[in-house]
């Protein structure tokens, strides 16, 4: 019988063993982004982006471990629930779009995949939730990997535009896999606000350590 290796610890019991999966159960907490870029909404995450959690996310989006979408998407749902607080109306999950190059390289839009799984969990909990492609890129930008804080901000400034799906809509929450400097989420929030759409908050699976 072929053993499925855990993406987090490389042990048995994959795609994610019970011990590694426990790191993604929550509860969600405010993500430590400091200094926060202007316009960044409140961000919630269930885990720190290191160790087994980091290995799992990298395996999912860079190494084709698509079976990890289920546990990672469930974690994102926990963060979304925390981000929207007492909001009781319809929820629109708006994935932060990746660069066209990263989507091609990774053979798909991994954030949108996680958002779709999160919606299923939110609906089971009674929420009226759906994924909305509310943001598109309007110019070429580099992949964020390897860029420092200033380079990330410059790379993303003015790079997104809201679609007609979210113009003047309420109940939106931005979703992404990881928050590092907050530059991507801040740019996404700017694009939504330009369209008259104030996000309730932002939700991610994991957050990097505090940046000083």
Provide the terminal-to-terminal Cα distance of the chain, rounded to the nearest Å.
Answer: 48
Dihedral sign computed on CA atoms, order 181, 44, 107, 51: positive
Bridge partners, residue 43, by sequence: 202
Tell me, what's the pLDDT at 212? Answer: 41
**Environment class of residue 104 by beta-carbon count within 10 Å: exposed (0-12), middle (13-18) or buried (19+)?**
exposed
Where residue 130 falls (left for φ over 0; alpha for ψ -120 to 50; beta otherwise) is beta
Task: Give residue 211's pLDDT.
Answer: 43
pLDDT of residue 159: 79
Relative to beta strand 91-95, strand 47-48 is unpaired
pLDDT per residue rounded down to tens, the chain (212 residues): 567 899 999 998 889 999 999 999 999 999 989 899 999 999 999 999 999 999 999 999 988 899 999 999 999 999 999 999 989 899 999 999 976 555 555 566 899 999 999 999 999 999 999 999 999 987 665 555 556 666 665 667 667 999 999 998 999 999 999 999 999 999 999 999 999 999 999 999 999 975 44
Torsion of CA 174, 177, 179, 180, to 10 degrees: -150
The structure's pTM equals 0.88
pLDDT at 138: 76
Q: What is the third-level CATH fold of 24-207?
A: Rossmann fold (3.40.50)
The total of other beta-carbon atoms located within 10 Å of residue 13's CB is 16
């Amino acid at each position: 019988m072929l053993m499925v290796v855990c993406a987090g610890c490389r042990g048995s019991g994959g795609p994610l063993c019970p011990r590694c999966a426990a790191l993604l159960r929550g509860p969600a907490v405010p993500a430590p982004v400091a200094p926060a870029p202007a316009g960044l909404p409140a961000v919630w995450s269930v885990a720190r982006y290191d160790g087994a959690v980091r290995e799992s996310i990298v395996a999912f989006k860079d190494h084709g471990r698509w079976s990890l979408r289920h546990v990672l998407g469930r974690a994102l749902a926990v963060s979304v629930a925390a981000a929207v607080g007492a909001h009781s109306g319809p929820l629109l999950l708006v994935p932060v779009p990746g660069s066209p190059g990263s989507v091609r390289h990774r053979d798909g839009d991994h954030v949108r995949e996680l958002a779709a799984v999160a919606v299923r969990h939110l609906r089971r909990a009674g929420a009226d939730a759906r994924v909305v492609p509310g943001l598109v890129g309007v110019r070429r930008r580099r992949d964020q990997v390897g860029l420092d804080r200033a380079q990330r901000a410059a790379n993303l400034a003015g790079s997104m535009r809201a679609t007609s799906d979210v113009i003047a809509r309420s109940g939106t929450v931005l979703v992404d896999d990881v928050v590092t400097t907050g530059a991507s989420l801040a740019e996404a929030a700017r694009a939504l606000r330009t369209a008259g759409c104030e996000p309730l908050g932002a939700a991610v699976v994991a957050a990097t350590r505090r940046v000083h």
